[in-house]
Every structure is written in C-alpha cells, then in structure tokens.
Amino acid sequence: MSVGDLTVGRTYPITKMCNQETQYGRTVRCTLDDSLDGIIEVFLPRSIVISDEQEALYSIDGNQTLSLVFNGRRGRSFDISFK
C-alpha cells in the first residue's frame, strides 16, 4: 500500500520497521496495525532513514510504542510524523 492511501490524521501503530533494498535504493518498510483493515505494509519515502542499530532495537523489542501518522500531502511530498 502507498503511504498516500492511508487515512489523513489517523494514528497507525507500527509493529515492525526494517530497511529493504529496492530497485530504487534502500528504503524503510513499515508494518502497520490497522484495526479496520488488519496488517498494512507500506514503504516510507526515502527521506526517512533508520540506522541498522535502530532497526535491530526495534526488531528485538516487540513492545515499541511508536506510531505513524499520515498528515496528508505537502506539495508533491507526503507529510508523515511519528508519535
């Protein structure tokens, strides 16, 4: 799913984040828990980067409380924040 398909202003708990190589370069793949649609996987814009250490910490501790909020578009870019 594209980040642009998410509901504006809605908070999506993140269950997993990992770096992934794609044909366009390295990007962050995020698994979100949507209470309505179940599990959603999105690729975040390449401007959002997590280090290998952050990825390892996130994968080890499944009790992270980080959530993604899609705030709409700002010009041609996605406006994303984390809580």
* Cβ 19 vs Cβ 27: under 8 Å: yes
Question: According to the model, what pLDDT value does residue 58 have?
Answer: 66
Return the structure tokens found at 83.
């809580």
Question: According to the model, what pLDDT value does residue 3 have?
Answer: 93
Question: According to the model, what pLDDT value does residue 65 have?
Answer: 72
Q: DSSP string of 28-57?
A: EEEEEEETTTEEEEEEPPTT----HHHHHH
User: Taking the domains of the chain in order of start, what are their residue ranges?
Assistant: 3-82
Question: According to the model, what pLDDT value does residue 48 have?
Answer: 87
Beta bridge partners of 32: 14, 40
Residues of the chain with pLDDT under 70: 56-64
Question: According to the model, what pLDDT value does residue 20 have?
Answer: 92
Question: According to the model, what pLDDT value does residue 63 have?
Answer: 56
Distance of CA 4 to the CA centre of its chain: 12
